[in-house]
Structure 1
Amino acid sequence: MEMFIISVILATILITPFALKTLSPYLWMDILYFGDLLRIFVRFVSRRRRRPLFFVLDRFLEQTAALPHKPFIVFENEIYSYTHTDKRSNKVANALRAQRGYRAGDTVALFMGNEPAFLFTWLALAKLGSPVALLNHNIRTKSLLHCFNCCKAKVLIAASELKDAVEDVLPSLTEQGVTVLLMTKHCDTPGIESFSDKVDEAPDTPLPQSLRSHITFKSPAVYIYTSGTTGLPKAAVVNQNRLLTALAVLASNGVTPSDVIYLNLPLYHTAGFIVGFIGSIETGSTIILKRKFSASQFWDDCRKHSVTVIQYIGEVMRYLCSTSKRENDKDHKVRLAIGNGVRADVWREFLSRFGNIQVREFYASTEGNVGFINYAGKIGAIGRVHFLHRKLFPYTLVKYDTERDEPIRDANGLCVESPKGETGLLVSKITDIAPFVGYAQSEEQTERKRLRDVLKKGDLYFNSGDLMRIDEDNFIYFQDRVGDTFRWKGENVATTEVSDILTISDCLKEANVYGVQVPGHEGRIGMAAVTVEEGAQFDGSQMYSHVVSYLPSYARPRFIRIQNAVEVTGTFKQMKMKLVEESFDPGRIQDPLYVLVDNEKAYIPLTAPVYSSIISGNIKL
Structure 2
Amino acid sequence: MIRLGYRWLKRIQKNPPITILDIFLEKVQKHPEKPLILFQEEVYSYRDIDRWSSQVARVLQSHVGMKEGETVAVFLKNVPAYIWVFMGMEKIGCTMACINYNIRSKSLLHVLSSCEAKVVLTTPDFQAVIEDVLPTLNHEGVRVFYLSDDSPTAGVEALLGRIKSSSAEPLPVSFRAHITSKSTSLYIFTSGTTGLPKAAIITHSKVLQAINIFRLCGVHSNDIIYIPLPLYHGAALSGVVSCIDIGATFVLPPKFSVTKYWDDCRKYHVTVVQYIGEIMRYVCNAPKKDNDHKHSVRIAVGNGLRGEVWKEFLNRFGPIHFYEMYGATEGNAGFVNYTGKVGAVGRTNFFHKKLINFELIQYDIEKDEPVRDKKGCEPGLLVTKITKNAPFEGYAGDLQKTEKKILRDVLKKGDCYFNSGDLLMQDREGFIYFQDRVGDTFRWKGENVATTEVETTLAGVSFIQEVNVYGVPVPGHEGKIGMAAMRLKEGLPFDGKKLYDHAKDYLPNYAIPRFIRIREALEITGTFKQCKGHLVKEGFDPAIINDPLYFLDDSEKCYVPMTQEIFSSITEKKLKL
- What is the distance in 2 between the residues matched to 1:528 and 1:452? 34
Q: Is the 8 A contact 1:395 1:427 kept in 2?
A: yes
| Structure 1 residue 348 displacement after superposition | 0.4
- Indicate the residue corresponding to 2:525 in structure 1: 569
- Indicate the residue corresponding to 1:161 in structure 2: 125
- Bigger CA drift: 585-594 or 346-355? 585-594
- Indicate the residue corresponding to 1:478 in structure 2: 434
| Structure 1 residue 428 displacement after superposition | 0.9
- Indicate the residue corresponding to 1:463 in structure 2: 419
Q: Is the 8 A contact 1:512 1:530 kept in 2?
A: yes
- What is the distance in 2 between the residues matched to 1:62 and 1:226? 32
- What is the distance in 2 between the residues matched to 1:294 and 1:593? 33
Q: Partner amino acid for 2:118?
A: K
- What is the distance in 2 between the residues matched to 1:462 and 1:229? 13
* Match for residue 539 of structure 1 among 488, 495, 500: 495
- Indicate the residue corresponding to 1:590 in structure 2: 546
| Structure 1 residue 78 displacement after superposition | 0.4
Corresponding residue SS for 1:600: coil
Residue 320 of structure 1 pairs with residue 320 of structure 2? no
- What is the distance in 2 between the residues matched to 1:298 and 1:127? 34
Q: Partner amino acid for 2:347?
A: R
Q: Is the 8 A contact 1:364 1:370 kept in 2?
A: yes
- Indicate the residue corresponding to 1:402 in structure 2: 365
| Structure 1 residue 49 displacement after superposition | 4.0
Q: Is the 8 A contact 1:102 1:179 kept in 2?
A: no
Corresponding residue SS for 1:427: strand
| Structure 1 residue 51 displacement after superposition | 4.1
Q: Partner amino acid for 2:82?
A: F
Which residues in structure 2 correspond to 1:221-260 (within 5 Å)?
A: 221-260=185-224
| Structure 1 residue 415 displacement after superposition | 3.2
- What is the distance in 1 between the residues matched to 2:354 and 2:123? 45
- Indicate the residue corresponding to 2:105 in structure 1: 141
Residue 416 of structure 1 pairs with residue 372 of structure 2? no
How many percent identity over aligned positions?
Answer: 51
Q: Deviations over 1:127-148 (max 9, x none)?
A: 1100111000000000000000
- Indicate the residue corresponding to 1:306 in structure 2: 269
Q: Is the 8 A contact 2:482 2:513 kept in 1?
A: yes
Which residues in structure 2 correspond to 1:31-110 (within 5 Å)?
A: 37-110=1-74
- What is the distance in 1 between the residues matched to 2:468 and 2:27? 51
* Match for residue 521 of structure 1 among 477, 483, 489: 477
Q: Is the 8 A contact 1:505 1:546 kept in 2?
A: yes
Corresponding residue SS for 1:599: coil
- Indicate the residue corresponding to 1:184 in structure 2: 148
Name the Cα RMSD after superposition.
1.2
Corresponding residue SS for 1:62: helix
- What is the distance in 2 between the residues matched to 1:509 and 1:425? 34
Gap runs ≥5 in structure 1: 1-36, 419-423
- Indicate the residue corresponding to 1:22 in structure 2: none
| Structure 1 residue 305 displacement after superposition | 0.4
Q: Is the 8 A contact 1:340 1:363 kept in 2?
A: yes
Q: Partner amino acid for 1:450?
A: I
Q: Partner amino acid for 1:296?
A: T
- Indicate the residue corresponding to 1:266 in structure 2: 230
| Structure 1 residue 101 displacement after superposition | 4.5
Q: Is the 8 A contact 1:163 1:182 kept in 2?
A: no
Q: Partner amino acid for 2:34?
A: K
- What is the distance in 2 between the residues matched to 1:562 and 1:478? 33
* Match for residue 184 of structure 2 among 205, 216, 220: 220
- Indicate the residue corresponding to 2:562 in structure 1: 606
Which residues in structure 2 correspond to 1:272-351 (within 5 Å)?
A: 272-274=236-238, 276-351=239-314
| Structure 1 residue 160 displacement after superposition | 2.2
| Structure 1 residue 104 displacement after superposition | 3.9
Corresponding residue SS for 1:416: coil
Q: Deviations over 1:325-376 (max 9, x none)?
A: 0010010000000101111111000000000100000000001111000001
Corresponding residue SS for 1:136: coil
Q: Deviations over 1:422-478 (max 9, x none)?
A: xx1111111011110100000000000000111111211111111111111110011
Residue 122 of structure 1 pairs with residue 86 of structure 2? yes
Corresponding residue SS for 1:465: strand
Q: Partner amino acid for 2:211?
A: L
- What is the distance in 2 between the residues matched to 1:536 and 1:191? 42
Q: Is the 8 A contact 2:227 2:275 kept in 1?
A: no
Go from structure 1 to structure 2 and tell me whether the alpha carbon gap of 1:104 and 1:436 turns closer, same or farther (over 3 Å shift).
closer
Q: Is the 8 A contact 2:515 2:552 kept in 1?
A: yes
- What is the distance in 2 between the residues matched to 1:354 and 1:100? 49
Q: Partner amino acid for 1:576?
A: K
Q: Deviations over 1:391-417 (max 9, x none)?
A: 122111111111211111125xx7323
Q: Deviations over 1:529-557 (max 9, x none)?
A: 01112232221111111111111111110
- What is the distance in 2 between the residues matched to 1:592 and 1:111? 40
Corresponding residue SS for 1:261: strand
| Structure 1 residue 591 displacement after superposition | 1.3
- What is the distance in 2 between the residues matched to 1:61 and 1:599? 51
- What is the distance in 2 between the residues matched to 1:599 and 1:298? 27
* Match for residue 158 of structure 2 among 174, 194, 209: 194
Residue 356 of structure 1 pairs with residue 319 of structure 2? yes
Q: Partner amino acid for 1:344?
A: G
Q: Partner amino acid for 2:534?
A: K
- What is the distance in 2 between the residues matched to 1:570 and 1:251? 49
* Match for residue 501 of structure 1 among 452, 457, 460: 457
| Structure 1 residue 206 displacement after superposition | 1.3
For normalisation by structure 1, the TM-score amounts to 0.91
- What is the distance in 2 between the residues matched to 1:504 and 1:369? 37
- Bigger CA drift: 39-48 or 546-555? 39-48
- What is the distance in 2 between the residues matched to 1:291 and 1:185? 20
Which residues in structure 2 correspond to 1:610-621 (within 5 Å)?
A: 610-621=566-577
Residue 579 of structure 1 pairs with residue 542 of structure 2? no
Q: Deviations over 1:40-68 (max 9, x none)?
A: 12322332344432100000000011011
Q: Which has the larger radius of gyration?
A: 1
Q: Partner amino acid for 1:583?
A: G
- Indicate the residue corresponding to 1:389 in structure 2: 352
- What is the distance in 2 between the residues matched to 1:523 and 1:280? 28
Q: Is the 8 A contact 1:101 1:154 kept in 2?
A: no
Q: Partner amino acid for 2:81?
A: A
Residue 367 of structure 1 pairs with residue 330 of structure 2? yes
Corresponding residue SS for 2:101: coil
Q: Partner amino acid for 1:532?
A: L
- What is the distance in 1 between the residues matched to 2:147 and 2:555? 32
Q: Partner amino acid for 2:155?
A: G
Corresponding residue SS for 2:225: strand
| Structure 1 residue 570 displacement after superposition | 3.2
- Indicate the residue corresponding to 1:431 in structure 2: 387
| Structure 1 residue 188 displacement after superposition | 4.4
